[in-house]
Amino acid sequence: MAVVYDRVALIGLGLIAGSMSLAMREAGLAREVVGYARSAETRDTAREIGLVDRVTGTAAEAAEGADLVVLAVPVGAMGAVAAEIAPVLKRGATVTDVGSVKRAVVEAVAPHIPEGVHFIPGHPLAGTEHSGPRSGFASLFRNRWWLLTPVEGSDPEAVARLAGLIRAMGANVEEMDAAHHDLVLAVTSHTPHLIAYTMVGVADHLKRVTESEVIKYSAAGFRDFTRIAASDPTMWRDVFLQNKDAVLDILGRFTEELFVLQRAIRMGDGQHLHDYFTRTRAIRRGIIEAGQDTSAPDFGRSQVSGKDA
């Protein structure tokens, strides 16, 4: 495949950046991939496993002269990183990010982007519960969605070039408004994560059910919750703090629905429960038909986990 950007700089060397590097290098999409991570430990690991072509000592050193700079740090750290690299950004370069929240990232990053540099926020809907420089793999984005939320006045050519890189890594690209993105993700990812965290927390508190019983008898439902609830605490803390409005909106609706179901159970209203579960079953079928999950009994988790974030 053809080179899309001469030099790509990855700021942050965790699951997403690592997977990008592996995917780009496998397909020959960049002449050089340079990377920076905050801790010396991560930088050493990245060097040791050859995660990128070159590891730099500072974020600015990585970003200097890069044609594409990818901010791949927790959402709450994006603004500070953008401020650090802003003075060295090359004219005509593109800055993107992979944060799971978009409105807050745009607010934190856009003010630092100099004239003549394109800022095109993005979010790959692909991930696992693992994090760090050793967790990435080249096929992470294959057949997954990658949402771009270009800001007003974004250069269509720069957007098309970035979309071309993303497609060449195997993902499908769609553009949407940042606020709409945050609402969609609050429904599809953020609130479900909070529910998983809560469910695992509840089981942990239920001393009548011993830990060994929870583990031994955990059917797919609870097991899936524990997998989700093992996700990176820093990343998810930032997601909830930075997508507060949309998450609180969806959580309010969730609580109302939960009370309705609770009442149906108490009143023995089997018809209500049956109708409700019939509707939700149709939603699950739709996800499978759209190719975003498998109908295998183990949800395909034995192959690759494909949790969206």
Residues contributing to the site for ligand NAP (CB under 6 A): 12-17, 37-39, 42, 72-75, 77, 81, 98-100, 123-124, 127, 131-132, 232, 235, 309
Tell me the closest approach of the beta carbon of residue 235 to ligand NAP, in angstroms: 5
What does the radius of gyration of the chain's CA atoms come to, in whole angstroms? 21
The Cα 249–Cα 232 span in angstroms is: 24
Query: What separation in angstroms does the CA of 254 have from each of 11, 241, 259?
Result: 36, 19, 9
Sequence-separated (6 or more) residues with CB below 8 Å from residue 197: 228, 229, 236
**Nearer of residues 132 and 214 to ligand NAP, judged by Cβ:** 132
Tokens of 37: 């991570």
**Nearer of residues 67 and 232 to ligand NAP, judged by Cβ:** 232
**Nearer of residues 234 and 294 to ligand NAP, judged by Cβ:** 234
Tell me the closest approach of the beta carbon of residue 3 to ligand NAP, in angstroms: 24
DSSP 186: I
Tell me the closest approach of the beta carbon of residue 17 to ligand NAP, in angstroms: 6
The Cα 200–Cα 267 span in angstroms is: 27
**Nearer of residues 230 and 264 to ligand NAP, judged by Cβ:** 230
Tell me the closest approach of the beta carbon of residue 212 to ligand NAP, in angstroms: 29
Tokens of 21: 């590097």
The Cα 235–Cα 99 span in angstroms is: 9
The Cα 234–Cα 175 span in angstroms is: 27
**124 half-sphere exposure, CB direction, 13 A CA radius:** 30
Tell me the closest approach of the beta carbon of residue 129 to ligand NAP, in angstroms: 7
The Cα 97–Cα 70 span in angstroms is: 5
Tell me the closest approach of the beta carbon of residue 26 to ligand NAP, in angstroms: 18
**Nearer of residues 176 and 264 to ligand NAP, judged by Cβ:** 176
The Cα 196–Cα 206 span in angstroms is: 15
**Nearer of residues 16 and 158 to ligand NAP, judged by Cβ:** 16
**Nearer of residues 269 and 293 to ligand NAP, judged by Cβ:** 293
